Structure 1
Amino acid sequence: MTRLIVAAGGGGDAVAAAMLDAAVYGGEGPAVILTYAWDRLLIDPVPGPRGPANFTGLRPLTRSVQAVPADARPVAPAGSTLPRLAAELPHTFALIDPHHGAEGITRQLEELIQHLEPESIDLLDVGGDILARGNEPTLRSPLADALTLAACCQVNAPVRLLVAGPGLDGELPADALRDRMGPLVLTFAADHVEAIGSVLEWHPSEATAMLAATARGVRGQCEVRDAGLPVPLTDEGPTVHEADLDDALNRNELARALLATETLDEAEQHSREICGYSEIDYERDKASWLGDQHERKLDPAAALRQLDQFEAEARNRGITHTTFRRITEVLGLNGRQRQDLRALLLSSRPEQYQAPLWRISS
């Protein structure tokens, strides 16, 4: 029997989907995870999500759906974490193609459901911004979630909407989500993280890193992203709640506007009108800015001095943890240097590694 999990926002949601599958169905065979190839600029220097044309070596599952196997490769200069996920995890990763709007994703879902005849279909979002109205000032990346929500509401099959780690994406606080979520489905524990432990050593997702850290018992205040947003790490962090799919659609103005979209450009325009921006526009602007910067060579001594200064300032802000993405950006380094920086920090100060986060020294 096959299970289908739709990773609402791609990236870290796909990793969390593997953890969910192990926690709920461990030992019953891996699921098919339908996900975007949208890794943001830290991994992929090209703004926006990737489609099938941006890969070589994809494997057809249905007429509209391609699987991303371990030997698939993104076409340069694009980048993607999906082939490595396929190499390290037993699941089948199928590619969401948003370039034909919500109608295209709906068609992909319908084909997969007919082909797989899954025993269950879960739509998983880490953090809970899929439950947004669409106009909240703290939202940063509503488009992917709104597209998958719009598509899942149009298929003729029961879809269970799940929110893992309420508030951990730093977009909607957990307090704002409580009356939008339903019953508790499960609470992740440390042993559930083992299924994705190796992935967390290199994958850049901050929300899923915090989800795993809270499952391992980490508590405190974590600073994330280039903006230095503080995210509380609480007992609510490792929880997974069910939410009503129709209520989510009725609340989410952007998702409703996307229902009949046939192109990604059309979806972006709705996002600009409803949310006041398109997250892909932000990526375009940031990519242009990053392209004008000269790559700095990693100087170990200078990096450790900068880290000391950052940690002193973070402590004054009440921060107890941070992510390697945050440290990389604070030090003015790029995504290609993130793993080198990580290796430097783990070799020089291993006592501060509270996997997969970095503990601010006291």
Structure 2
Amino acid sequence: MSDLFIAAGGGGDPVGTAITAATVGRVLTGTPLGDAAIATYAWERLEVDPTSGPLGVVHFADLADPTGMPVIAPTTRPIPPAGSTLPALAADLPARLALLDPWQGLSALAEQIRRLADTGFDHVRIVDVGGDILAHGDEDTLCSPLVDALVLAACRLAGVPATVYVAGPGADGEIPQADVLDRLDGDALTPLVQDVAAVREALSWHPSEASALFAAAVDGVRGPIRTVNHLIPLTDASARIHSTTLDDALAHNTVAAHLLGVLPPTLEAAADLSAELTQIHELDRERVAAAEPSAPARAALPWTEPAAWEAIRHAAQGAPHVTLRFAALALGLTWRQIPSLRALLGAQGPVLAVA
């Protein structure tokens, strides 16, 4: 038997979840990362996927489906105009990637998780990078409470044995680290550099910031990191993985508790309920943003190395480190040009040292 990990936040959380899976395997279960599976939403930033909301099964071509589990393979492709980093992650991560489709509501999502667990997994390990899975709903900096809440509620409804892990507390900038730590009283695991090794290829190009900060903390980076929307301090606590029970996580997550009370039949209904509680409607927000014109992508890097460094340092406003996504946007580049930017700057790690 092996473990089913769920990357609760979608986006780049499969990368941080893979680090967590490697750590759990090394410390607790003896299960290698290659024997684990990571279930995830395909809900990514509009710069990756210009369509609003998450992608479901109908939005992909060539999904594998062994024993009823929709697996994202390197050959899987999002159907245009949709976009996704998941097929490329499937090529770079040792663990299998399974797709969670939340469009048919909470009960359908719970059934997906139950079916996944029944394909040979004896325990579900829910992973959130940053800690907004413990959101009360009234935090000033909260941005995306819905998907984490749906996973918690679905796992409870599915009746699967589950543990919740917060990797890199505060790394997503949604809840301050001190507040996240105050809501955790379980054991903590400390990843090693070797646990990050399996995701370094993915980190070299993926625009995830939270997972990059978590990996950087494991690598020993400390101090403030400039991301696109935040200045996030990395501390010793940023390099740890804290566990808690499903019951405790549900006790904190107001949206999840209300989802269980209502059992919304669609993702739209779940988003409406979440908005009533938090004043954040994630689907409406993306619809508005998706309708706005985007800047045309540059075909090539129009920068020399010294000029690029100067522009990035100016944009960093004194921060000693920045994310590669921040650096790319500061130069007017897209996330797809991160590998070229790394090559130009000779950058190797999860974040970029600028001071």
TM-score, normalization by structure 2? 0.91
Structure 2: distance between partners of 1:290 and 1:341: 25
Query: 1:3·1:119 contact (CA, 8 Å) conserved in 2?
Result: yes
Q: Give per-residue Cα distances to partners, 1:159-194, cap 9 Å, x unaligned.
A: 001111000011101111122112233111211111
1:77 maps onto 2:104 in alignment: no
Q: CA deviation at 1:3?
A: 1.1
Q: Give per-residue Cα distances to partners, 1:324-356, cap 9 Å, x unaligned.
A: 111222233333444433433x2xxx2xx3601
Structure 2: distance between partners of 1:330 and 1:115: 45
Structure 2: distance between partners of 1:342 and 1:45: 25
Query: 1:123·1:160 contact (CA, 8 Å) conserved in 2?
Result: yes
Aligned to 1:358: 352
CA 257–307 in structure 1, closer or farther in 2 if over 3 Å, else same: farther
Aligned to 2:167: 164
What pairs with 1:32-181 in structure 2 (closer than 5 Å)?
A: 32-63=37-68, 65-116=69-120, 118-181=121-184
Aligned to 1:19: 19
Runs of 4+ in 1 over 6 A off after TM superposition: none
Query: 1:180·1:243 contact (CA, 8 Å) conserved in 2?
Result: no
Number of matched pairs: 348
- SS of the residue 1:280 aligns to: helix
- Residue type of the alignment partner of 1:196: V
Q: CA deviation at 1:303?
A: 8.5
Structure 2: distance between partners of 1:3 and 1:297: 42
CA 338–200 in structure 1, closer or farther in 2 if over 3 Å, else same: closer
Identity %, equivalent residues = 42
- SS of the residue 1:58 aligns to: coil
- Residue type of the alignment partner of 1:251: H
- SS of the residue 1:133 aligns to: coil
Q: Give per-residue Cα distances to partners, 1:287-314, cap 9 Å, x unaligned.
A: 22243x3445555337964652441353
Structure 1: distance between partners of 2:336 and 2:223: 29
- SS of the residue 2:128 aligns to: strand
Query: 1:34·1:93 contact (CA, 8 Å) conserved in 2?
Result: yes
TM-score, normalization by structure 1? 0.89
Q: CA deviation at 1:61?
A: 4.0
- SS of the residue 1:122 aligns to: strand
The runs of 5 or more residues in structure 2 that have no matched partner are none
- Residue type of the alignment partner of 2:176: P
What pairs with 1:1-362 in structure 2 (closer than 5 Å)?
A: 1-26=1-26, 28-29=31-32, 30-63=35-68, 65-116=69-120, 118-225=121-228, 227=229, 229-259=230-260, 260-291=263-294, 293-296=295-298, 298=300, 300-301=302-303, 305=307, 307-312=309-314, 314-316=316-318, 319-344=319-344, 346=345, 350=346, 353=347, 355-361=349-355
Q: CA deviation at 1:91?
A: 1.6
Query: 2:144·2:280 contact (CA, 8 Å) conserved in 1?
Result: no
- SS of the residue 1:41 aligns to: coil
Structure 2: distance between partners of 1:309 and 1:157: 50
CA 301–94 in structure 1, closer or farther in 2 if over 3 Å, else same: closer
CA 296–157 in structure 1, closer or farther in 2 if over 3 Å, else same: closer
Q: CA deviation at 1:206?
A: 0.5
The runs of 5 or more residues in structure 1 that have no matched partner are none
Q: Give per-residue Cα distances to partners, 1:44-87, cap 9 Å, x unaligned.
A: 12221100001111122455x41112211111111112112222
Q: CA deviation at 1:129?
A: 0.3
103-112 or 272-281, larger mean C-alpha shift: 272-281
